[in-house]
Amino acid sequence: MSTRWIFTVAEMISFATELRSQSKTLALVPTMGALHEGHLSLVRQAKIQCDVVVVSIFVNPTQFGPTEDFARYPRNPEKDFELLESANVQAVLAPPVEEVFPAGFSTFVDPGHIATVWEGAQRPGHFRGVATVVLRFFNIVKPDVAFFGQKDFQQVVMVRRLVEDLNLPVRIVVCPIVREADGLARSSRNVYLSSEDRKAAVLLSRSLKRAEALAQSGEADAKKLLEEMRKMFAAEPRLQLDYAAIVDPATLEPVTHALPGCVALVAVRLGTVRIIDNLIFGPPGSSPEMKLQLALTAPQPDKESAATPRPEIDSLRLKIEKCRDCAAVSSISLPPREFLFKYLKRNYPNLDAIRVLVIGGCAPIGPSGSPYCHPEEVTPFSTRLYELLGVGSFAEFKARFALTDAARCHAVGNRVDERTLEYCAKHLREELKLFPNVQSVVILGEYAYLQFQRHILGREQASIKPFPELLKAQGWAQESVRVPCCGEREVRVLYCYHPTFENKKSPSVAAYLGSKP
């Protein structure tokens, strides 16, 4: 199927209707053209996830202010078409302005508070224009999935809100930032940087990386990290800082502590060119995908508290930050010591019988999420876990496997940092000792992988293969390794995707787990 170039709304609607009648899944990748590797990374992800990919190319006048660069925004339709044809995209929607905003068009979407901060404050009306055109394109194409880049983090937050608030039947996928070799985030506007400004532009990613390195070495104070970033910008006279901020990924409100999942945003001007960049904080070694997940699964505050800081959560985080002793934080449902005695001993009167230990992500929030407390409950986690391990029921599971978690501290939600993993690893090591006959360990997901590699096997960060790379070929991986806390016994370790945290799914590893009793 060759790439079809569509210029009218009517043709797009009939093309999409025809595809849907053939039960094809449809992806939409909205762009403003002048395509580069960043855009193509979204296209590739769309090709993986859907049958048909539509890329829209539309320089939307309603998202540019009167003094902004609408007229001189880079346009390169021939090259765009070549790139999309080589990427085997089925359709390119490239309507003229009059087709999208015909005479008499008067309805606009107001995204609310989110459109008034950071980029919204610098570019009044920008997000109103983006939200309107995105909604219009969603209604024309009716995609099953739409792909956006983390590069425009505030746009991602706004679009996700739009989809949720208006019940739009589309799934939003967010892809990591693609960068040049020196770290500069790819952007259509980069072509307008003079060679001197291009050199100075590398400061954006450098300052973000510096803040990340400081945070990973234990300096979580957002004020200090921002001071450090601002110092770097101040040393470069070509560059004018519009803003630098460290924010909560859901509300975009500034945070006091740059914990995993929080996002650093920067915007600068170099001559007449404005460029933006961002970075999601995460534990050392975490992949861009995992960081995105941390940011996008951060608990969404309820609407009433959305505009106000959340001191109770902040103070809980601080407690966790300070003491690092989960057992000391009152809201933890299964503190480590109790965990060992109540949970394991109650469920496993004969600890010697257990041959396989399964290490999951974070402890469930409250006992109701644990299969041990509600063995009869069928949850997405239990269904996929049993499929992975080749068991039919909880009783069958319990007869051969014990399940534990990389992070006990559920108060951190999905935002687990390095020190939490390090702390919880102490308890994990104690647990491993409880099962003298364990032959295999099944690791579920990236957190458990990082913790096992670093804190159980004691490997150096530099020698640990990134999790997505390790699992890329067959969706799982294994190694036989001597485990220090198991008396240096050799244990077979199987690394799999987490049943519910990650988008991807591992095939069943039942054949590698020994025979049923």
| Interface positions with ligand AMP (CB under 6 A) | 31-32, 38-39, 41-42, 148-149, 151-152, 175, 177-178, 185-188
Structure-token pair, residue 173: 């996928």
Between 41 and 370, CB nearer to ligand AMP: 41
Q: How far is the CB of 127 from ligand AMP (least distance, A)?
A: 13
Between 178 and 494, CB nearer to ligand AMP: 178
Between 208 and 485, CB nearer to ligand AMP: 208
CB atoms near residue 305 (< 10 Å): 12
Cα separation, 275 vs 158, whole angstroms: 19
Q: By C-alpha distance, which of 226, 48, 31, 50 is closest to 130?
A: 31
Cα separation, 248 vs 148, whole angstroms: 19
Q: For residue 189, what are the contacts with CB-CB under 8 A and spacing of at least 6? A: 69, 73, 74, 273, 274, 275
> From the candidates 36, 39, 126, 498, which is the catalytic residue?
39
Edge-to-edge order in the sheet of strand 273-280: 239-247, 263-270, 273-280
Between 180 and 221, CB nearer to ligand AMP: 180
Q: How far is the CB of 152 from ligand AMP (least distance, A)?
A: 4
Between 83 and 486, CB nearer to ligand AMP: 83
Beta-bridge mates of residue 268: 241, 275
Strands 263-270 and 273-280: antiparallel
Q: How far is the CB of 175 from ligand AMP (least distance, A)?
A: 6
Q: How far is the CB of 115 from ligand AMP (least distance, A)?
A: 16
Structure-token pair, residue 312: 């109770």
Look at residue 391 and give its three-state secondary structure: coil
Per the annotation, the verdict on 39 as an active-site residue is yes
Q: How far is the CB of 59 from ligand AMP (least distance, A)?
A: 9
Burial 198-216 (b: 16+ CB within 10 A, else e): bebbebbbebbebbbebbb
Which residues participate in catalysis according to the annotation?
Answer: 39
